[in-house]
């Protein structure tokens, strides 16, 4: 298969992304960020450093921030659906606890199942892509391999188009993503372009959104070899207690050399624990290593537990506060849904007009 890192599309996306980052700094009011997650469980440090931190910093720059909770997408790769409502609530609590702020008048969180006008856009969008294109999507292929589905459903092939509806319904023009989501953003750009060409050839109707590639390296889990993820049991959850953190860290693999050094190539597991401390306390990994030195792996692990507890304390305090405020999460979602519907119904109405479907 084509190496995504070196492909022409990737290099072009990367260039566009760098230019975009500079433009956002200059005039944040021109940009509307649309991003999202599937409600499959609570979030961990990998999510924090991979996307949440970046969302908060975009929010602080003054862009509009729409966060879609992609609940319909859960059905594409999971048979179970019993925890969707609870996971949606957990997701909102995680967002709020890290500083996503729906009180600023520019930040909105909504589950797409509650925005019918958004979902309706899926139908015309589906006519702008071929089955072959849907089947070629490398991220979808990987997800099919990894899914716990008893049988692959059509929703699995179609969800990237649904994601396009998430973005275009609220006219998002910036989508902060990791590399795995790039094929979906490319598809969204293709659909926007084809829509414009077919239905509105004189003036572009949809703006082609740009991917904003995340700058952070993806964090390895405590095993040091796989990406941090809840299902691999190698993650530090944002809401983990000290005991839970200590237990996970205790099981982390190191090596048999006593003296702690930062050598990512030769000692990947030790290096990963050092990097985890480093992203949380802001010191270079080399400095942390030389401070620990001959105190060895036990001291390294103790430091990691301590650093994680210190780092997560303010986040968890905030979370408790929101957890205890009755009806707050629900009201955040209701406001988000209201705003998303306002945008999506405008988009749908205009879309029907250019497709010659208005009533005469």
Of residues 182 and 271, the one with the C-beta less far from ligand TRP: 182
Q: Which residue from 317, 279, 313, 281 is spatially nearest to 47, judged by alpha carbons? A: 279
34 or 100: whose CB is closer to ligand TRP? Answer: 34
CB closer to ligand TRP, 122 vs 237: 122
Cα separation, 58 vs 73, whole angstroms? 25
Is residue 100 near ligand TRP by the rule CB under 6 A? no
Between 173 and 307, CB nearer to ligand TRP = 173
Query: Token match 């290096």: residue?
Result: 271
Minimum distance of ligand TRP from residue 54's CB (angstroms): 13
Q: For the segment 57-96, give every residue that binds ligand TRP (CB under 6 A).
A: 68, 70, 73
Of 184 and 301, which CB lies nearer to ligand TRP in the complex structure? Answer: 184
Nearer to ligand TRP by Cβ, of 94 and 166: the residue is 166
Tell me if 351 contacts ligand TRP by CB under 6 A: no
Of 219, 186, 197, 245, the residue nearest 45 (C-alpha): 219
- Find the shortest distance in angstroms from Cβ 320 to ligand TRP: 27
Indicate which single residue of 96, 118, 168, 175 sits in contact with ligand TRP (rule: CB under 6 A).
Answer: 175
Residues in contact with ligand TRP, counted by CB under 6 A, come to a total of 14
Q: Which is nearer to ligand TRP, 168 or 274 (CB)?
A: 168
**Least Å distance between CB 35 and ligand TRP?**
5
> Distance of CA 358 to CAs 124, 233, 347, 351, 353, Å?
14, 52, 13, 9, 5
DSSP string, 128-164: TS-HHHHHH-HHHHHHHHH---SS--HHHHHHHHHHH
Of the candidates 36, 98, 95, which has an alpha carbon nearest to the alpha carbon of residue 71? 36
Residue 78 or 193 having the CB closest to ligand TRP = 78
CA distance 53 to 174: 16
Out of 54, 87, 113, 163, the only residue in the binding site for ligand TRP (CB under 6 A) is 163
User: Rounded to an integer, what distance in angstroms lies between the CA atom of residue 30 and that of residue 149?
Assistant: 41
Please name which of 243, 248, 242, 272 lies closest in space to residue 260, comparing C-alpha atoms: 272
Q: Which stretch binds ligand TRP (CB under 6 A): 125-133, 160-168, 289-297, 327-335?
A: 160-168
Q: Quick check: 166 binds ligand TRP (CB under 6 A)?
A: yes
Query: Smallest distance from the beta carbon of 84 to ligand TRP, in angstroms?
Result: 14
Residue 282 Cα to chain centre, angstroms: 23
> For residue 35, what are the contacts with CB-CB under 8 A and spacing of at least 6?
51, 55, 65, 66, 67, 68, 175, 176, 177
119 binds ligand TRP (CB under 6 A): no
- The separation between the first and the last C-alpha atoms of the chain, rounded to the nearest angstrom, is 50
Q: Does 167 interact with ligand TRP (rule: CB under 6 A)?
A: yes
Structure tokens at 215: 């700058």
Taking CA atoms, 85 is separated from 40, 147, 193, in Å, by 10, 21, 35
Closer residue to ligand TRP (CB): 38 or 106: 38
Residues 181-220 binding ligand TRP (CB under 6 A) are: 181
> What would the x/- binding string for ligand TRP be over residues 25 to 44, using CB under 6 A?
---------xxxxx------
Contact (Cβ atoms closer than 8 angstroms) between residue 104 and residue 59: yes
Binding site for ligand TRP (CB under 6 A): 34-38, 68, 70, 73, 163, 166-167, 175, 177, 181
């Amino acid at each position: 298969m084509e190496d995504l890192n070196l492909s022409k599309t990737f290099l072009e996306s990367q260039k566009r992304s760098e230019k975009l980052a500079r433009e956002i700094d200059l005039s944040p009011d021109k940009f509307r960020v649309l991003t999202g997650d599937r409600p499959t469980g609570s979030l961990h440090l990998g999510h924090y450093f991979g996307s949440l931190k970046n969302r908060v910093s975009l929010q602080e720059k003054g862009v509009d921030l729409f966060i879609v909770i992609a609940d319909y997408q859960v059905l594409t790769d999971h048979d179970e659906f019993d925890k969707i409502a609870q996971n949606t609530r957990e997701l909102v609590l995680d967002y709020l606890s890290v500083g996503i702020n729906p009180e600023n008048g520019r930040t909105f969180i909504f589950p797409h199942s509650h925005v019918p006008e958004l979902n309706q856009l899926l139908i015309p969008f589906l006519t702008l892509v071929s089955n072959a294109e849907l089947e070629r999507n490398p991220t979808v292929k990987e997800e099919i391999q990894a899914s716990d589905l008893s049988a692959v459903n059509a929703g699995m092939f179609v969800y990237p188009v649904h994601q396009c509806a998430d973005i275009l319904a609220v006219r998002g023009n910036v989508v902060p993503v990791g590399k795995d989501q790039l094929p979906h953003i490319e598809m969204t750009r293709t659909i926007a372009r084809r829509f414009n060409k077919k239905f509105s050839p004189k003036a572009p109707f949809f703006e082609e959104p740009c991917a904003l590639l995340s700058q952070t390296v993806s964090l390895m889990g405590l095993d040091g070899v796989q990406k941090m993820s809840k299902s691999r049991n190698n993650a530090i959850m944002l809401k983990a207690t000290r005991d839970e953190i200590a237990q996970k860290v205790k099981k982390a693999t190191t090596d048999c050399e006593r003296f702690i050094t930062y050598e990512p190539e030769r000692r990947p597991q030790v290096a990963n624990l050092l990097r985890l401390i480093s992203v949380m306390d802001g010191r270079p990994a080399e400095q942390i290593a030389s401070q620990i030195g001959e105190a060895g792996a036990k001291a390294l692990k103790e430091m990691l537990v301590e650093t994680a507890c210190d780092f997560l304390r303010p986040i968890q305090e905030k979370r408790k506060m929101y957890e205890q405020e009755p009806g707050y999460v629900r009201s955040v979602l209701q406001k988000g849904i209201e705003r998303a519907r306002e945008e999506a119904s405008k988009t749908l109405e205009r879309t029907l007009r250019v497709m010659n479907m208005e009533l005469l």
